[in-house]
Amino acid sequence: MGVGRGHVLEPAHYAAEGTGAVPDGLRAGMVSAGMTGSLTVLDDVPTELLGGSVLEFLHALGGPTAFVQRGRHGAPRRVLATLIHGDEPSGICALWKWLQSGAVPYSDTLFIVGNVEAATAAPGFAWRHLDDERDLNRCFRPPFAGRQGTLCRAMLDVIAEFDPACLIDVHNTSGVGPAFGVTPEHSAQHESLMTGFSEKLIVSDIRLGALMEAATEICPSITVECGGAIDTYADNVAEQGFEFFLNAADPLRTGDRDVPMELLHYPVRVELKPRRTIGYGHVPDGADVVLVHDVERFNFGVVSPDHHLGWLGDDGVQALTAMSADGRDVIADVLTRDIGGALRPARELKLFMVTTKAQAAREDCLFYAIRADDVQW
Ligand SMILES: [Zn+2]
């Protein structure tokens, strides 16, 4: 079922258990539906909240919010999601600029502003998720348990009801690097969705419970990683990508590309095993894994066994795992420890999502790795 002009998306079943109905309008200061686990759904842009800064806008929203901006045409409807991670501001900053400019999209667009509570927690844009909550972008799959699960299911219900032709979910990486897209399936339509953002697209068979994975059941969907979270390059990528996506007559058919898409397949996540330790620096420091302090510079270049990525403790690569999509631990094919204790690629690799934040490495992963020959592990 679609959404007609002037209608509020059927709100009752989008609220979390016990949080009551979602309001059919939003006024600054009236944000009771902003409780975590519930989703405020608006049938228009909350323009009255756009006067201050982007953080003031988020404070006024008060919680996860979905709103529709009417386009010059009704279709093809598109969805743009931002801020699923609270410390990744490029998407919401680009959205705020877009709304402030008064621009009108080509067709009706549903915007989703995700983890508002984490983004607005002091000092602002500092937290991927609140301490006592799970990573929202791991909860878009059954059983949709708890407050985050309920919220994710509400977002998917709203998206399904909007009946979109396509969806883009905009993120930042925790480390510095070029922009790229991630998709669970590949087609010319998915490449078109990348227009304006990047010419790198990772086709991933890893399933984590991300929005883009679940939304693929509804329409062609991609995640865009715009680059580092505090990087004007990433902000520019988001702004340019939004302009293109929102103004395109058909984002799924944007014509021939000037630059061929660089497709990367079969990523694996290099993760720290439980109770293992990690550090970053210039010398081994007794941790199970130490990565060189500037390891981010390897993002998207080809690394070979000649490259020194850091140091491993006595247990070598056994402190790490790299699970393939079919459940094999391929870490010994990814990384190796030389006789001097140095951590090196076991073969030619492309690395991405390389972080130098120990907390991100512990909670999520050190980086993703792809065979440089683009062959399955
Ligand atoms: Zn993210």
Phi, psi of 256 (to 5 degrees): -65, 145
* 8 Å CB contact between 224 and 49: no
Q: Is the peptide bond before 345 cis (omega within 30 degrees of 0)?
A: no
Kindly list the distances between the CA atom of residue 61 and the CA atoms of 50, 110, 120, 123, 130, in Å, as whole numbers in the listed order: 10, 16, 10, 17, 17
Interval between CA 249 and ligand 1 midpoint (Å): 28
- What tens digit of pLDDT does each residue of 321-331 get? 999 988 999 99
Give pLDDT, residue 106: 98
Neighbours of ion ligand 1 (CB under 5 A): 85, 88, 171
- Spell out the residues 6+ positions from residue 18 whose beta carbon is closer than 8 angstroms to its own: none
pLDDT at position 220 over 80: yes
Domain 8-264 has CATH 3.40.630.10: yes
Split at pLDDT 50, 70, 90, the class of 37 is: low
- What tens digit of pLDDT does each residue of 272-324 get? 999 999 999 999 999 999 999 999 999 999 999 999 999 999 999 999 999 99
Interval between CA 172 and ligand 1 midpoint (Å): 6
Task: Give which of 330, 338, 334, 335 is closest to 371, Cα–Cα.
Answer: 334
Interval between CA 63 and ligand 1 midpoint (Å): 18
The CA distance from 218 to 29, in Å, is 34
The domain locations on the chain are 8-264, 268-371
pLDDT at position 129 over 90: yes
Interval between CA 286 and ligand 1 midpoint (Å): 30
The CA distance from 86 to 124, in Å, is 8
Kindly list the distances between the CA atom of residue 244 and the CA atoms of 114, 120, 163, 232, 303, in Å, as whole numbers in the listed order: 22, 28, 21, 18, 33
Interval between CA 366 and ligand 1 midpoint (Å): 14
Residue recorded with tokens 């979910």: 169
Split at pLDDT 50, 70, 90, the class of 257 is: confident
Interval between CA 226 and ligand 1 midpoint (Å): 10
Residue recorded with tokens 């972080």: 355
The CA distance from 193 to 49, in Å, is 29
The CA distance from 267 to 352, in Å, is 9
Interval between CA 135 and ligand 1 midpoint (Å): 9
Q: Which is higher by pLDDT, 102 or 230? A: 102
Split at pLDDT 50, 70, 90, the class of 67 is: very high
Interval between CA 6 and ligand 1 midpoint (Å): 32
The CA distance from 102 to 265, in Å, is 39
Please tell me the total number of residues recorded for the chain in this structure: 377
Give pLDDT, residue 34: 37
Give pLDDT, residue 22: 36
If you average pLDDT over residues 5-12, what whole number do you get? 37
* 8 Å CB contact between 238 and 90: yes
The CA distance from 357 to 85, in Å, is 15
Report H helices in 62-209: 90-100, 116-120, 146-162, 188-193
The CA distance from 260 to 224, in Å, is 17
| Pairing between β-strand 310-312 and β-strand 262-265 as defined by DSSP bridges | unpaired
Interval between CA 84 and ligand 1 midpoint (Å): 6
The CA distance from 92 to 82, in Å, is 6
Interval between CA 314 and ligand 1 midpoint (Å): 33
The separation between the first and the last C-alpha atoms of the chain, rounded to the nearest angstrom, is 42
Residue 279 sits at the vertex; the CA angle it makes with 318 and 172, to the nearest 5 degrees, is 100
- What tens digit of pLDDT does each residue of 145-195 get? 999 999 999 999 999 999 999 999 999 998 888 999 999 999 999 999 999
Interval between CA 95 and ligand 1 midpoint (Å): 16
Residue 228 sits at the vertex; the CA angle it makes with 181 and 113, to the nearest 5 degrees, is 70
Give pLDDT, residue 26: 32
pLDDT at position 3 over 70: no
The CA distance from 183 to 263, in Å, is 10
Give pLDDT, residue 255: 82
Interval between CA 362 and ligand 1 midpoint (Å): 15
pLDDT at position 53 over 50: yes
Q: Is 313 helix (H, G, I), strand (E, B) or coil?
A: coil
Interval between CA 169 and ligand 1 midpoint (Å): 9
Mean pLDDT of the chain: 90
If you average pLDDT over residues 86-102, what whole number do you get? 97
If you average pLDDT over residues 43-70, what whole number do you get? 96
Quick one: DSSP state of residue 375?
-
